[in-house]
Structures are given as C-alpha cells and as structure tokens.
Amino acid sequence: MSFHRDFTPADDGPVVPDVLKSMLQYASSGFARQYIQAFHARANDPTSEDAARVAAVTAVLDRLAHEPWRSGQPYALAPELTATLATAARALDLTGRVVDSDSAPSDAGVLVLPEPIYQRDALGHVTSIGAIAWAPYRVTETGRTGWWVTGWANRDALNDPAAVRRREQLADAPTIVAQLGPYILSSLADLPADTPLIALAEAPSQADHAQESAPPGYHCLDDPTMRQRAITVLLYAYWNLQGQPATNPLRQDSDPTQHLNAHQAGLPNNSPTARRPAEPVVSL
C-alpha cells in the first residue's frame, strides 16, 4: 500500500500556509534567537561556559532549528493518517540501524502534524509534537554527516501538560507570549547518517518520577521504551512512508521573499522536485 499522496501538504485550505507564514516570521525574529539561548542555558550550566562559546553555540543552534522554517521544504500529514504514522513509529527499533544519507525527501524540511502526537521523555514529562523539522549538518573535522532534528510543540494546545505549565509560567508576561510563534521548540535530537544509531542512555527508573499522561484519544510515544527520541523515530517513519521523490510541496524555491509571498497568497507550488545530495545547513 502506498501512502505517498496522503503524506503531502494539503493545498485546499489556508491553515498550513498561515502557520508557515507565522513560523517564518518568528524564525526570522531576534526573539527566536533569544529563546534558543535560553533553551540552551536551561539544558546546560551557563556558568560553565564562557561568553564566546555561548554565542557560538547559540548561532549554530539558531541556524539548525530555524533554517528549516525559513527555507526548508514543508510537508503536512493528513489527520486521518496520524494513527498510521504513530503505529509505524512504535513498530520501529532504530537502535543499530544505519540511516542512508539520501533518506530525507529534501535537504531541510518541516513536517506539520495538524493532529499532534505526544511524547513522554525520560523524566515522565509529556508534550505535544505539532511539527518536526530537520536540517542537514556536516562535521568538518571528521566528515560525519546527519540531520539535526527539532520537535515543536503546539503553543495553544489546551490539554497539553507542557502547554499548561507554560501558560502558568507566562501568565504575567504577555509581551513574551505575543512574540512566540504557533509552535514552541521543545526537543532536540541528532540523527547521524551512514553510521549505526546508538540507543539513548538508560533512563532513570520511572518509579522515581511522576508519569504524565497525554490527553485522552491522542497517541503518545515513550522515549525510554523506544530507546530513541520520539521525534527521531516519527521522522524516520514518515520518510519511509511518504516515499521519494517528494511531490506537491507548498514551496520549493530558495528565495525567502518568494516563500513569504506564497504563504501570504496561500498558494502551493505543485512542481515535483528531483532528489539531490543534502547540502549542510551548518558545517560544525
């Protein structure tokens, strides 16, 4: 059975173009870079790094996280196929698997999930996955290549535990809320190419942490159970299900101005695109 046509962006409504337009504006803003810096500081001890290193890391993360929104190829999953994708991801065991360097349907891209899938991390925290973005990288010293994968949560999801916490934290900060995009950066993952994937480090006992639940009726993938980040497994499953080469992308041009104009008009670009070797967004 082929899911190729169903795993392409919808071109009969304004929702996806409007979201992409908003995220393009957000990804090009100074606030997005500030958020990346705060995101990095939250995951690391800021006192252990000098200012120059923090600035360098922020610049790299900014490009890897936001370039797919600025110039990547967008895709949208038909809501009725959410269960298909979630089931395919659950069945995958990526540990030890080698992902070919030509696996991605486009160099950089964004997969929008109109019906979110949820993920539970090693600490038992649950958050929505409303979009998954990928950007190719190359490590200059070793020649290693792969994709930097970012998970984006729905900002306004009513029953998302992470969104509930975020609204409580920002209740008295309307200026910050006004600068956020429709999706919030929530998780990061490295997907190396042409080398066996390594399992996540063994998680602490789940008995040591309260396990949050996803809203009823939604699929939830558990990072420790899959031994990989949920966003990585979902993205790999999508790449395999949607087929290559990609067709009916909303845009395929490389001029950000043309991207924004297409979004404003709500018009898709239906021209097929030939597959070519990935060009790294960042050389590390």
How large is the average pLDDT for residues 21-28? Answer: 90
H-helix segments, 91-160: none
pLDDT of residue 283: 58
Q: Which two tokens stand for residue 263?
A: 């979004």
Higher-pLDDT residue of 248, 136 = 136
Q: How far apart are CA 53 and CA 18, in angstroms?
A: 36
The segment with the largest mean pLDDT, out of 10-24, 124-138, 163-177, 197-211, is 124-138
pLDDT of residue 110: 94
Least Cα distance to 70 among 18, 15, 130, 110 occurs for 110
pLDDT at 210 > cutoff 90: no
How large is the average pLDDT for residues 206-235? Answer: 81
For residue 201, give the 3-state DSSP assignment: coil
Q: Which two tokens stand for residue 78?
A: 């038909």
Number of Cα atoms under 13 Å in the Cβ half of residue 36: 24
pLDDT of residue 278: 55
Q: How far apart are CA 191 and CA 228, in angstroms?
A: 10
**For residue range 177-192, what is the model confidence (pLDDT) as tens digits?**
888 888 989 888 999 9
**For residue range 264-277, what is the model confidence (pLDDT) as tens digits?**
333 333 333 333 44
pLDDT of residue 143: 85
**For residue range 5-18, what is the model confidence (pLDDT) as tens digits?**
333 443 434 457 78
Please state, rounded to an integer, the average pLDDT across all residues of the chain.
75
* Distance from chain centroid for Cα 255: 22
pLDDT of residue 284: 54
How large is the average pLDDT for residues 107-122? Answer: 89
Higher-pLDDT residue of 181, 133 = 133
Which H/E stretch holds residue 114?
A: strand 109-120
